[in-house]
Amino acid sequence: MNKSVSSEYFLRVVSDSMYDPADRDSFAVGDFILVRPQSDAENGSVVVVESHDGAWSTFRQLVTEGGTKYLKALNPSWSDRMVEMSDDLRICGVVTMNGRARSTSHAELETEEVSHA
């Protein structure tokens, strides 16, 4: 992750950790997320976090309870849906938009001849 980024940037979702089939606002593999760089976030925000050495990053929903910050995966089948945010992680951005890329492949259209009798 580029720490010198000063404007919003896109990341591609590569894991199903933030996908919940019952939640239309969840994030599917292949989606793109728009991230606004910032180091703080409100409870309930979807955030991008990275290790302080920059070797690892992910995105999760930020949950704050009793002054403790947790990172929550939206996928109900994940065993560790909510984990405490450790000191070796930092928030580096907030997700502001989710979208899917338009397909650039052109499927062949099936046509059928119509009789004009």
Average pLDDT of the chain, as a whole number:
86
Of the two residues 79 and 19, the one the predictor is more confident about is 19
Residue 3 has pLDDT above 80, yes or no: no
CA 113 to chain CA centroid, nearest Å: 45
Could you tell me the two tokens for 39? 């180091």
Would the pTM count as exceeding 0.85? no
* Nearest in space to 59 (alpha carbons), one of 30, 37, 24, 91: 91
Up-side HSE of residue 8: CA atoms within 13 Å toward CB?
11
Across residues 49-54, what is the average pLDDT? 92
Q: Where are the domains of the chain?
A: 9-99
What's the pLDDT tens digit per position in 22-42?
A: 998 899 999 999 999 999 999
Distance CA 101, CA 103 (A): 6
The pLDDT of residue 105: 54
| Most confident stretch, 2-11, 23-32, 41-50 | 41-50
Burial letters for 30-44: b for 16+ Cβ neighbours within 10 Å, e otherwise? ebebebebeeebeee
36 in Cβ contact with 8 (< 8 Å): yes
Up-side HSE of residue 24: CA atoms within 13 Å toward CB?
0
Residue 49's pLDDT band (boundaries 50, 70, 90)?
very high
Per CATH, the homologous superfamily of domain 9-99 is: Umud Fragment, subunit A (2.10.109.10)
